Amino acid sequence: MPAGLYSWIIIFDEIVVVDGIYVMWYEQAFQAAWAAACKVERSVMLVPEKYQFLVGPISFSGPYCQKGITFQVDGTIVAPMNSNAWGKGLLQWLEFSKLVEITIQGKGTIDGSGSVWWQDNPYKKKKKLQAVRFYGSLNATVTGITIQNSPQCHLKFDNCIGVMVHHIRVSSPGDSPNTDGVHLQNSRDVLIHSSTLGCGDDCISIQTGCTNVYIHDVNCGPGHGISIGSLGRYNTRACVSNITVKNVNMHNTMTGVRIKTWQGGSGSVSGIMFSDIQLTEVQFPIVIDQFYCDKSTCKNQSSAVSVSGINYQRIKGTYTVKPVHFACSDNLPCIDISLTSIELKPLQEKYHLYDPFCWATYGELNTPTTPPIECLQIGKPTSNRPQTDHDTC
């Protein structure tokens, strides 16, 4: 930003002014503005348009802040290009923690400058920062803004109740590693709608501890589709229930709607509805994978996260590899899988390489499907062992 300019962070009718001469970092301005906003119920902290603010990792934290703060982003907030400037041990860039009725809104942009992270050996196992994270908050809303080029996940909600995300845009290249669009974990009563999400990983990722999630009218692509999981890694217990995904368009994604769990886990995924999904050039439109593994080999284990009560309705479009892939546990098969009005066609006949695949998958076909999903076993498994507390949540 040119020398001699000032940065204004406006809170109601108060203005916090930081002399910008020879100053390129604005953490102090943001911290001062937040400290003032925190004291006033229904205050507004404004990031003004036509300005860019270079900001390192910062936490906007409660729990002693007044409720109803609005973080109005009309300008651009930019992360440092040098990954060393982030410091060590941090997991997020902009964190909103332990707040009540917090809103981020505006017509501006939050830019995570992720390319420096992606280029620095993207497959090396190291922690990468999330652009925006909400933790332990009640009634959090994000609307209007663009979040782009996060080092990893763009927008994360962890241990939150009452989340609303709408009319946002997430953008990063399709080959940017691990850049989930919206990531949910241990959160409930979530509504995501009317948004466009393009990234290098899941457009929306739903992790353990999530319930009562409703997603509708979302455009997804590029990316890995909308995923539940991965769940149960390191023999952990995972619980996901009451998820609805409806009226979603997916273009040029790796998967469409997917459930992925690790061998050795416990808990359950249940009460899931995927409906009215339109797909274009999707590699694997419908996937349940209870053998998920993101490395070359994984140990075979008999326990699994149970998968039941999964409904697929009116999922239509084109694929490029395999239309349906249901790989379920021998010890704990997938049950109550329901398919209605499924119409999936190869983009071109040369892409008709694989037929639908099912393993230990039981349920019902309510209508004829395209292609025929003859591998689904109708009814319930006769030898299925009773569910135990280990399997349920």
The 8-class DSSP code of residue 72 comes to E
Annotated active-site positions, please?
224
Give the rounded distance of the alpha carbon of 171 from its chain centre. Answer: 13
Q: What percent of the chain has pLDDT over 90?
A: 75
pLDDT over 70 (residue 235): yes
Identify each DSSP E strand in 128-176 by its residue range. 130-135, 138-143, 146-148, 155-158, 161-166, 169-171
User: In the chain, what are the domain boundaries?
Assistant: 1-118+128-201
The contacts of residue 389 (CB under 8 Å, 6+ apart) are none
Mean pLDDT on 120-146: 84
- Among 6-15, 328-337, 374-383, where is mean pLDDT lowest? 6-15
More confident residue, 63 or 5: 63
Stretch 354-369: mean pLDDT: 97
- Which whole number is the average pLDDT over 170-196? 98
According to DSSP, the residues that pair with 23 across neighbouring strands are none
Query: What is the mean predicted confidence (pLDDT) over 94-119?
Result: 95
**pLDDT value of residue 349:** 80
pTM, two decimal places: 0.92
Q: Where are the beta strands (DSSP E) in 252-388?
A: 255-261, 266-282, 284-289, 306-319, 324-327, 334-346, 357-359, 361-365, 377-378
Average of per-residue pLDDT across 271-294 = 98
Q: How is domain 1-118+128-201 classified at the CATH fold level?
A: Pectate Lyase C-like (2.160.20)
For residues 229-252, give the mean pLDDT.
98
Q: Identify whether the C-beta of residue 25 lies closer than 8 Å to the C-beta of residue 1.
A: no
**Residue 69: what pLDDT?**
94
pLDDT of 221 above 70: yes
**Per-residue pLDDT, 300:** 92
How does DSSP classify residue 252?
Answer: S
Is the pLDDT at 203 greater than 50? The verdict is yes
Residue 13 has pLDDT above 90, yes or no: no
What CA–CA distance (Å, rounded) separates 292 from 168? Answer: 30
